[in-house]
Amino acid sequence: MPVPELLVVGTIHTLDPARPRAGAALLRDGRIACVGTEGKCAARAAPGARRIELGGGSAIPGLADAHGHVLWLGRAAFEVSCEGSASAEACAALVAARAAATAEGRWIVGRGWDQHRWPGAAFPDAALLSRAAPRHPAFLTRVDGHAAWVNRLALEAAGIAPGTPDPPGGRIGRDAAGRPDGILIDAAMDLVRARLPRPAPAELEEGLLAGLRAVAALGLTSVHDAGCAPEVLDAYGRLAAADRLPVRVYAMIDGMVPLPALEREMSRWRAAPATGLLEIRGVKLYADGALGSRGAALLEDYSDDPGNRGLLVSTPEALREKVLACVRAGFQPAVHAIGDRAVREALLALRAAGSAARALRPRIEHLQVVQPADLPLLAETGAVASVQPVQAASDGPWAAARLGAGSVRLAGAYAFRTLADSGAVLAFGSDFPVESPDPRAGLHAAETRMTSEGRPFAVEQAVSRLEALRAFTAGAAYASFAEGRRGRIAAGLDADLTLFAEDVLAVAPGALRRLTVTHALVAGRVAYERGR
């Protein structure tokens, strides 16, 4: 079906150095046909072109989230949400309510708990969750996705007993007597996750579409889905072939499988890496866990947990082997690395893969703690800094406790200014649904460095609004090999725009989170329109 031409009129911030501002843009056949004055673009528009008046608002290149998890976001409506729960008991009460409405024996699945919000900030235990759901196995992932809280039935279903060893790259929480206490860190989560019922193909498609529609309503026109299982990639492929994707998706293969399986998956998608709004060109690998669950791999002990330096989810040797396999197959390695030890190991793995790896624009996902000595290695490898500003806001209240007040490693935490000044390309995202997918929150956090408690955190690491916008547009485009098609508003580029009711470059910093998204335009089509 032909797509009507769109004529956008008003304040247009192109983010194009050659023409930073324009009065109109004409969108035709999925591309930008004209950028310039209203008269110039109107003269080239077809008689039936739809006109969108910005009024006091503004248009920018389509916002992109360089790191999210679409299926998790889409399925959140079907799971127990413990986000914002003030205590472990409050979260358990939500599980009890769901169990009361669920057939006995079926799994209760949820996510979003955060012990830092609870009195004492201690991990919960299996006994509390077992009392809430005595006849249902329960599996609740922490807000960062790197720890799980399970009950007795879930432990039994997975065969986790006092004698069960910690799996490589994981840790089974234990009480003083050595019995499993219901907390599973990183790879240990897989022992229970393997027992969860798998969603049907139609459920996967429904979950993906729900997630994509949700991000479109926030003004996002593109998302990078970080780590997709084969069945999820298949669901994406079906949706793309049927032209049902509302926004662009740059999907990454899940690389945390045995090497032969990864090589088969890369071979499968190498033959058809792009369909419609879908592209599959990267592989998500893991070096470590997360700071919130003390699973991020550090060079020295956690300041608030002496003797613990976190976890390497992949051994250095295994990480290098997989990075090299990705490079040989022509796929972009995207390595989750949060702690300073993990960041160093990831960069060393990229360097070991040589110039061929650099040509594939390797990415370090999160890059939350980096040592000054490793910045030259970041430059040498050409790694993209795929970072999430909103995590500085949410982690800021407790980062000093983890890393040590006044320490070198705290100075290198969430260091967006340092990374930008080192010459690295910044690609901003959110890691949704670990954090909110709302890019307005990311813009605010990047510029103000205000924490979720309303206090400044390492304000010297702030970036300007223009830099933040570029990281959410041109930076994300570069990270997905699309800088020649997106990230600016210029003639011939993809017709992806985000429209606001206010001028995004003129509002006060405190108003960024209150910007009103009016439209998300993807390939010249309306993916979201306020009020419709």
Picking from 177, 193, 209, the residue at the C-terminal end of a domain is: 193
Query: Which of residues 142, 169, 193 is at a domain's end?
Result: 193
Same domain, 74 and 167: yes
The verdict on residue 289 lying in a domain is no
Q: Are residues 145 and 53 in the same domain?
A: no
Are residues 74 and 143 both part of a single domain?
yes
Q: What pLDDT is stored for residue 32 in this prediction?
A: 98
Confidence of residue 146 (pLDDT cuts 50, 70, 90): confident
Predicted confidence at residue 1, as pLDDT, reads: 55
Give residue-wise pLDDT tens across range 351-383. Answer: 999 999 999 999 999 999 999 999 999 999 999
pLDDT digits (tens, 9 = 90+) for 467-491: 999 999 999 999 999 999 999 999 9
Do 147 and 40 lie in a common domain?
no
pLDDT higher than threshold 70 for residue 83: yes
Query: Does 114 lie in the same domain as 13?
Result: no
Residue 343 lies in a domain: no
- pLDDT at residue 2 greater than cutoff 80: no
Which residue type does 307 have?
G
Task: Choose one of 161, 193, 225: the last residue of a domain.
Answer: 193
- What is the CATH number for 521? 2.30.40.10
Predicted confidence at residue 194, as pLDDT, reads 92
pLDDT given at position 75: 87
Inform me whether the pLDDT recorded for 18 exceeds 70. yes
Per-residue pLDDT tens over the stretch 385-409: 999 999 999 999 999 999 999 999 9
Asked if residue 80 and residue 18 are part of one domain, the reply reads no
**Identity of residue 99:** A
> Does some domain include residue 312?
no
Mean pLDDT score, 249-258:
97
Work out the pLDDT band at 145, boundaries 50, 70, 90: confident
Rounded to an integer, the average pLDDT of 1-6 is 80
Average pLDDT over every residue of 195-213 = 95
Residue-averaged pLDDT of the chain = 96
For residue 74, being part of any structural domain is answered with yes
The pLDDT value given to residue 452: 87
- Inform me whether the pLDDT recorded for 55 exceeds 60: yes
Q: Which amino acid belongs to residue 143?
A: V
Q: What is the pTM of this model?
A: 0.90
* pLDDT tens digit sequence for 317-328: 999 999 999 999
Residues 53 and 159 in one domain: no
202: Cβ contacts below 8 Å, ≥ 6 apart: none
Examine the pLDDT at 335 and tell me if it is beyond 80.
yes
**Average pLDDT score over residue span 522-527:** 98
Name the least confident of 45-59, 77-91, 153-167. Answer: 77-91
36 lies in the same domain as 130: no
Q: What are phi and psi of 121, to 5 degrees?
A: 55, 30
Task: Kindly report, residue by residue over 88-126, the tens digit of the pLDDT.
Answer: 999 999 999 999 999 999 999 999 999 988 999 999 999
Is residue 112 assigned to a domain? yes
Residues 74, 47 share a domain: no
Q: Does 88 share its domain with 180?
A: yes
| Rounded alpha-carbon distances, angstroms, from residue 178 to 121, 163, 167 | 21, 9, 16
- Residue 262: pLDDT band by 50, 70, 90 thresholds? very high
Residue 277 falls inside a structural domain: no
- Count how many domains the chain has: 2
State residue 528's pLDDT score. Answer: 98
pLDDT of residue 400: 96
**Count of CB atoms within 10 A of residue 239's CB?**
22
Q: Does 504 score more than 60 pLDDT?
A: yes
Residue 78: predicted pLDDT: 83
Supply the pLDDT for residue 273: 82
Q: Are residues 121 and 183 in the same domain?
A: yes
Q: 499 is in which domain, residue-wise? A: 6-62+491-529
Q: What is the CATH number of the domain that holds 109?
A: 3.10.310.70
Residues 56 and 128 in one domain: no
Long-range interactions of 150-159: CB distance < 8 A, separation 24+: 150/126, 150/182, 150/184, 150/192, 151/126, 151/182, 152/126, 152/127, 152/182, 154/107, 154/192, 154/195, 155/126, 155/180, 155/182, 155/192, 157/192, 157/195, 158/191, 158/192, 158/194, 158/195, 159/191
Cα 5 versus chain centre, distance: 32
230 belongs to a structural domain? no
237 domain residue, yes or no: no
**The pLDDT value given to residue 3:** 79
Q: Encoding tokens for residue 14?
A: 């192109």
Angle subtended at Cα 281 by Cα 278 and Cα 283, rounded to the nearest 5 degrees: 120
Looking at the chain, the whole-number percentage of residues with pLDDT higher than 90 is 94
